[in-house]
Amino acid sequence: MRNNSMKSFAIIIILASALWINAYADVLNDIKESGRAFKDFSATAVVMYADKNELKKLSKGAAQTYDFKEAKVLYKYPDKLKMTGKVGLVGVEFIKNGDLQIIRVPALKISRKDDFDDEPQRRQTPLDIGVISDAMWRDYDISFEGEKTIDGVKQYVLHLKRKTVNRTQRIWIDAETMRLAKREKYDAQGRLKDRFIYKDSKKIDGIWVPQRIEAYTPNGKLAGITEYRNIRINTGISDSEFR
Helices and strands in the chain: count of H runs, count of E runs: 4, 15
Q: Please check the confidence at residue 243 and state whether its pLDDT lies above 90.
A: yes
Contact 236, 40 (CB under 8 A): yes
* Residue range 67-82: mean pLDDT, rounded: 97
Q: How many Cα atoms within 13 Å fall on the side-chain side of residue 232?
A: 11
Model-level pTM? 0.88
Kindly report, residue by residue over 167-196, the tens digit of the pLDDT.
Answer: 999 999 999 999 999 999 999 999 999 999
* Residue range 1-10: mean pLDDT, rounded: 56
Q: Which of 9-13, 54-58, 128-132, 228-232 has the lowest mean pLDDT?
A: 9-13
Kindly report, residue by residue over 14-37, the tens digit of the pLDDT.
Answer: 544 444 445 688 999 999 999 999
The confidence score (pLDDT) of residue 122 equals 85
Q: Please report which residue ranges of 98-179 form alpha helices under DSSP H.
A: 135-139
Rounded Cα gap, residues 142 and 222, in angstroms: 28
Q: Please check the confidence at residue 6 and state whether its pLDDT lies above 60.
A: no
The domains of the chain are located at 2-78+124-236
Q: Please check the confidence at residue 73 and state whether its pLDDT lies above 50.
A: yes
Residue-averaged pLDDT of the chain: 91
Rounded Cα gap, residues 219 and 103, in angstroms: 31
Q: How many Cα atoms within 13 Å fall on the side-chain side of residue 55?
A: 17
Q: Buried b vs exposed e over 140-178: b needs ≥16 C-beta within 10 Å? A: bebebeeeeeeeeeebbbbebebeeeebbbbbbbbbeeb
Kindly report, residue by residue over 88-131, the tens digit of the pLDDT.
Answer: 999 999 999 999 999 999 999 999 999 988 887 888 999 999 99
The confidence score (pLDDT) of residue 68 equals 95
The confidence score (pLDDT) of residue 37 equals 96
Rounded Cα gap, residues 82 and 136, in angstroms: 20
* Residue range 222-233: mean pLDDT, rounded: 98
* % of the chain residues with pLDDT over 90: 82
Q: How confident is the model at residue 10 (pLDDT cuts 50, 70, 90)?
A: very low
Task: Please tell me the total number of residues recorded for the chain in this structure.
Answer: 243
Please identify, in words, the CATH class of the domain defined by 2-78+124-236. mainly beta
